[in-house]
Every structure is written in structure tokens, then in C-alpha cells.
Amino acid sequence: MPLVLFFIFAVVAVAAALVMITHKNPVYSVLFFVLSLLAFAGFYVLLHAPLVAGVHIVFYSGIIMVVFLFSIMVFGMNSKGTGEARLKNSSIIGLVASIVLLALFISFIKSGVDDMSQSLPMSDDIKSPGDLLFKKYLFPLAIISILLFSAILGSTFLVAKNKLKA
């Protein structure tokens, strides 16, 4: 049975990814991306990692997709995937965001880093990884989330700026 489920998840993931990159409507592309991410969460369940599957669904299929859809709506993309940026002074916003990110990075380097290469203790509960993530490694987790968010916004601004020039 696990082998059958594996092939079902694999076919769904590959088909959704192919439709995602070939569809002309960006909103439908995002929805097919969510479908492929859900299929990948099925792989984690098959590997007996329900916590990783749950985190994958919440973070990638939930939060990151909301940011993608927000970016599509902000820039008013139509069915052809083009649109005009509604934000003015995006260069100033990018500069301010870069300065804030650089300040966070410098403060992280100056504060010192514990040895993060330790493996997590294996257990069936979610308390121990949660304690490690939200107590000991809260600052690196916040830095990673800021980096991901700034990368999404930066790439969206670059694409919008290049499409406006064309």
C-alpha cells in the first residue's frame, strides 16, 4: 500500500508542477503549486514524519502561498501574467529593506552563534523540537523568515520593474 500511495503522490506532484509552469493564469499556477506541495507533504507522511508534513502544509501551502497571491494582486497581473506595479518609490522601499536586513545580519554575527549542527533528539512528541525552535533558535528562525520574505518581495519588484521597462 505505501508503494501505491507513493506513486499516486508522485504523479500528482509531477502533474501539478507541469500544469503550474505551463498555465497562463498566475493565480491558477499558484493553486497548482499548492497542490504539488500537498503531494510532497504526503511523501513526508509516508516517511513517518507527520510533524514535518504538518509544518510543510502550514508554512509552504499556507503562509508562502498567501504571500505569492498577495504579490499577484498587488501588481495587478492579468491572465497573461503581466501587470503594472502600483507601488511608487519601490527603489526606496528596497533600499530601506536592504539596510534593515543588513543591520539584522550584522547583529546576528556580533551576537555569536551556538553550534547549530547538533542533531535534534529523536522523539515522538512535538514539544522538544518546538522548544528548540522557539526558545534556543528563535533568532535564527526569525532571520530565515525575514530572508525568505525579502527574497520574495525583491524578486517580485525586479520582475515588475523589468516588465514596466519592456
What pLDDT is attached to residue 82?
47
What pLDDT is attached to residue 113?
55
What pLDDT is attached to residue 7?
92
What pLDDT is attached to residue 83?
45
**Structural domains of the chain, ranges and CATH numbers in brackets:** 1-83 (1.20.120.1200), 85-166 (no CATH)
Print the SS3 string covering the chain: CHHHHHHHHHHHHHHHHHHHHHCCCHHHHHHHHHHHHHHHHHHHHHCCCHHHHHHHHHHHHHHHHHHHHHHHHHCCCCCCCCCCCCCCCHHHHHHHHHHHHHHHHHHHHHHCCCCCCCCCCCCCCCHHHHHHHHHHCHHHHHHHHHHHHHHHHHHHHHHHHHHHHC
Stretches where the chain sits below pLDDT 70 are 74-90, 111-125, 161-166
What pLDDT is attached to residue 132?
77
